[in-house]
Amino acid sequence: MKKLLIALMLFAGVQLAAQTKDVADALKAFERAKSSADNAKKATNPKTWTDLAAAYAQVYDAPIKSIWLGASQMEIKVLLKDQRIEKSEEVEINGTVYLADFYTDKVLYYSQAGELAAWKVTKQYLDEPLLENSLDALNKAIEVDTKQRSTADVKTQLEALKSRYFNEAMSAYALGSFKEASVDFEKAANIGAHKLIGQIDTALIYYAGMTAFMAQDHDRAIEFFNKALEHDYDAAGDAYSYLAESYKAKSDVAMAKEVLNRGFKKYPSTQSILVSLINTYLESNDDPNKILELIHQAQKNEPNNATLHYAEGNVWKNLGELDKAIESYKNSVKIDENYYFGFFAIGAAYYDNAVELQAKAADEMDDAKYEAMVKELEANLEAAIEPFEKCFAASQDEEIKTVVAEYLKNIYFRFREKSAEYMAGYEKYNAYGAKTE
C-alpha cells in the first residue's frame, strides 16, 4: 500500500511537472475565484464575478499565452523555449500545406512563409466551456453591480473575449473547420453588440455567413448574409452573389433572382453578380436578355457612366456574342477615354478569340481552311494591340500594367519579324516584364 501511494505521488509529480507555470498559476487562480463565487456572501460582490471571468479566460489562455497569429516560428520557439516540441511534420489541409509543431497540449500550424496561421489546443485543463463561462460570469457581474462600479473592467474583459473568439474563428477557418469558424465569428459579433460595447461588427456578421456558406449550411448562411445586408455591409457586392447561391441551393430561385437584381442595381459592373444573374436566368429557362433590359434602363438614367457599357459588354461576352461585347466595351471608352478597364476588355476579347481560333486551327486538316483560320487569328491579335497599348498608357496600377505588358509581349513576339516596329514593341514589353519580376 505504501509503495502504491509513493508511486501515485510520483505520477502526480510528473503530471504537475508536465504543466507549464502558466497553466499551474491559472488553475490556482481559478480555484480561488471559483471558491469565492460559491460563497453566498461574496457572490453579491461584482468583483467576485469579474475575477471568475478573468480566471476562466486565464485557463483558456494558458496553453497559448504570449503567442499570436502571424508570429514567426522563430519568435514562438523563443517564447515557448521551456515547452518541448514532440514532433514536427507537414500537413495538408484543404489544399494548403502547413508545418505543424506538436506540443503536449496544442498543435501550432505555420504557413510556408513561416508565420503562425492557426493553432489547436489538444488538451483542456478544465473540462468546461471556458470562454462561454467567462462571458456568463461577466453578465453575472453586471447583474449584481447595482452601482455600476465594475463597468470598465467588464467592458475591457468583453473586448478581450471578442478577440479570443475572433482568433478561434480564424484558426478554425485556416484548418477547414468552417462550421466551427462560423459559430465563433457569430460569438465574436454578439459580444461586440453587447450593451456595454454597442458595436455592430458587420464584417464579423458577413464572415459568419461566408463560413456557413463554405460549410454548406445554407439556412445559416442566408440568415447572416441578410443580416449583413440589413446593416449595409455587402463586401463590394459579393454578399448578394453568395446569398443568391444559398437561395438557389435551397431551390428558391425566385429569391435568388430578387437578391441578384438588388445587387445588380447597386453594382452593375460587378462580375460575380453579373455571372450569377446570367446563370440564374439560364438555369431557370428564363430570358437572360432581361439583364440587358436592366442595363439599358440604367444607361438611360446615367448616360455618362462608362461602367454600365462595360457591364453590358460582359453580359454579351458571357452569352457568346463577341462582336456585341466589343462594341459595348468601345462605347465605355468613348464615354471615358481613360477608362482602362474598357480598353483591357477590348484587347482581351480579341486576344481570347485568337486563342480559340488557334486551338481550332490545330485540329483542322484542310489546308485552305487552316490558312484562313491563321489569317483570322492574326487579325484578332493585331486588333488587340491598340486597346492594350491604350490600357497600358492609361492605367497607373502596376499589376494591371504587368499583365497587359505580358499580352503585348506575346503578340509582338509573334510578329517580331514582320517589321522593325513590331520588334521594338516586343523588346519594350519584354524588358518591362523583366523589370517587374
Number of H helices, E strands in the chain: 19, 4
| Tens digit of each residue's pLDDT (9 = 90 or more) over 356-389 | 999 999 998 999 999 999 999 999 999 999 999 9
Q: What is the pLDDT of residue 40?
A: 95
Distance CA 144, CA 53 (A): 14
| Tens digit of each residue's pLDDT (9 = 90 or more) over 106-149 | 999 999 999 999 999 999 899 999 999 999 999 999 999 999 99
Q: What is the pLDDT of residue 199?
A: 94
By CB atoms closer than 10 A (0-12, 13-18, 19+), residue 75 is middle
**For residue 94, which amino acid is it?**
N
Least confident of 259-268, 322-331, 334-343: 259-268
pLDDT above 70: percentage of residues in the chain: 95
Cβ contacts of 401 within 8 Å, gap of 6 or more: 392, 395, 432
Strand 96-102 to strand 106-110: parallel, antiparallel, or no bridges (unpaired)?
antiparallel
Q: Which residue has the cell 499570436?
A: 68
* φ, ψ for residue 365, nearest 5 deg: -95, -20
Q: What is the pLDDT of residue 6?
A: 36
Q: For the chain, percent helix, then strand, then coil, each to nearest 5?
A: 70, 5, 25
Cβ contacts of 86 within 8 Å, gap of 6 or more: 102, 103, 104
Judge contact between 292 and 315, C-beta under 8 A.
Answer: yes
**For residue 157, which amino acid is it?**
Q
Cβ contacts of 340 within 8 Å, gap of 6 or more: 390, 391, 394, 395, 400
Q: Does the pLDDT at position 9 exceed 50?
A: no
By CB atoms closer than 10 A (0-12, 13-18, 19+), residue 198 is exposed
391-392-398-399 Cα dihedral, nearest 10 degrees: 60
pTM of the model: 0.71
Q: What is the pLDDT of residue 437?
A: 66
* φ, ψ for residue 90, nearest 5 deg: -85, 135
Q: Does the pLDDT at position 19 exceed 70?
A: no
Greater pLDDT, 334 or 311: 334
Instruction: Work out the end-to-end distance of the chain between its first and last CA atoms, rounded to an integer number of angstroms.
Output: 75
Distance CA 67, CA 22 (A): 13
Q: What is the pLDDT of residue 293?
A: 84
**For residue 240, which amino acid is it?**
Y
Q: Does the pLDDT at position 281 exceed 90?
A: no
